[in-house]
């Protein structure tokens, strides 16, 4: 989410061009904070769950911030159903990936080492 906010601030600083540099520094801070949080998420558990969630949340946050802050439309009437289906498929895929990561793993019996018999 911080990466999306950082991109939003970068766009704002480019659009304002000369109105102030606070957006640039805020974007750098959001980028650094996002990097630290993503590394903490990678170390907290299985990679599939955290990576999948971040890959799905980043575009959703980016599109949401673009719609709210800049007033950009989500889609035209022609492409809205296709984009909604794509969003739904992405979110279902992330949910399935997270559920696979949470499933208990089967324990295998210990390996038996073959014993050599003398004389053979």
The pLDDT assigned to 44 comes to 78
Task: With a cut of 60, say whether residue 19 has pLDDT above it.
Answer: no
Q: What's the rounded Cα separation, in Å, for the pair 93 and 1? A: 19
Q: Check if the beta carbon of residue 10 is closer than 8 Å to that of residue 27.
A: yes
Work out the widest C-alpha separation in the chain, in whole angstroms. 90
Tokens of 52: 């999948």
| Tens-digit pLDDT profile for residues 43-63 | 877 776 677 777 777 778 888
In the numeric block, the tokens 């630290």 are attached to 36
Nearest residue to 100 (alpha-carbon basis) of 54, 52, 41: 52
Confidence of residue 4 (pLDDT cuts 50, 70, 90): low
CB-based contacts of 7, cutoff 8 Å, min separation 6: 27, 62
78 vs 117, more confident = 78
4 vs 78, more confident = 78
């Amino acid at each position: 989410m911080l990466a999306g906010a950082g991109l939003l601030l970068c766009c704002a600083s480019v659009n304002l061009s000369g109105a102030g540099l606070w957006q640039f520094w805020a974007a750098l801070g959001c980028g650094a904070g996002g990097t630290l949080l993503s590394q903490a998420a990678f170390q907290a558990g299985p990679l599939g769950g955290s990576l999948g969630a971040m890959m799905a949340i980043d575009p959703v946050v980016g599109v949401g911030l673009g719609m709210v802050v800049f007033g950009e439309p989500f889609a035209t009437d022609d492409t809205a159903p296709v984009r909604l289906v794509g969003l739904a498929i992405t979110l279902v895929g992330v949910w399935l990936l997270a559920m696979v990561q949470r499933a208990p793993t089967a324990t295998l019996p210990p390996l038996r080492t073959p014993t050599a018999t003398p004389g053979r």
